[in-house]
Amino acid sequence: MSTASSIRSPHLFDSADNGEDFVIHTSDDQHLYVVKSFLIFASPFFANLLKDSSPEEKYQGISVWRAPETGVTMTALLRLCYPIHLELKDVLLPEADLLAGQKYLMEGPLNRLRSMLLNNDSGGPLDKEPLRVLAIARRLRWDDVVQCSARALLRTPVRSFPNIPELEFLSSREYHRLQQWCWACGDAAEKVVARENVDGTWKTEDIQRLRPLFFYRSSLMGWVVGGPLAAAREVLH
Would you list the domain boundaries of the chain?
Answer: 4-100, 118-236
Q: pTM for this structure? A: 0.75
- The count of C-alpha atoms lying within 13 angstroms of the C-alpha of 233, restricted to the half-sphere facing its C-beta, is 7
Hey, what long-range contacts does 49-58 have (CB within 8 A, 24 or more apart)? 50/22, 54/22
pLDDT digits (tens, 9 = 90+) for 200-237: 665 656 555 655 555 433 333 343 334 434 433 433 33
Cα dihedral 135, 138, 142, 148, rounded to 10, equals 50
Lowest mean pLDDT among 35-39, 93-97, 155-159: 155-159
Residue type, 107: E
Lowest mean pLDDT among 151-160, 188-197, 215-224: 215-224
Predicted pLDDT of residue 197: 58
Mean pLDDT of 80-87: 93
Q: From CA 222, how far away is CA 237, in angstroms rounded?
A: 31
Q: From CA 38, how far away is CA 94, in angstroms rounded?
A: 24
Taking all residues of the chain, what is their mean pLDDT, rounded to a whole number?
A: 79
What are phi and psi for residue 78, nearest 5 degrees? Answer: -65, -35
How many percent of the chain have pLDDT more than 90?
Answer: 43
Crossing angle of helices 130-139 and 107-117, rounded to 10°: 160
DSSP character at residue 16: S
Q: What is the 3-state secondary structure (H, E, C) of 78-131?
A: HHHHCCCCCCHHHHCCCCCCCCHHHHCCCHHHHHHHHHHHCCCCCCCHHHHCHH
- Is residue 87 within 8 A of residue 22, CB to CB? The reply is no
DSSP character at residue 218: E
Mean pLDDT of 20-42: 94
Greatest mean pLDDT range, 26-30, 151-155, 180-184, 199-203 = 26-30
pLDDT digits (tens, 9 = 90+) for 85-114: 999 999 998 889 999 999 999 999 999 999
> Nearest-CA neighbor of 116 among 107, 126, 104?
126
> Does residue 8 have a pLDDT over 90?
no
CA 156 to chain centre: 19
Predicted pLDDT of residue 28: 94
Tell me which fold the domain 4-100 belongs to: Potassium Channel Kv1.1; Chain A (3.30.710)
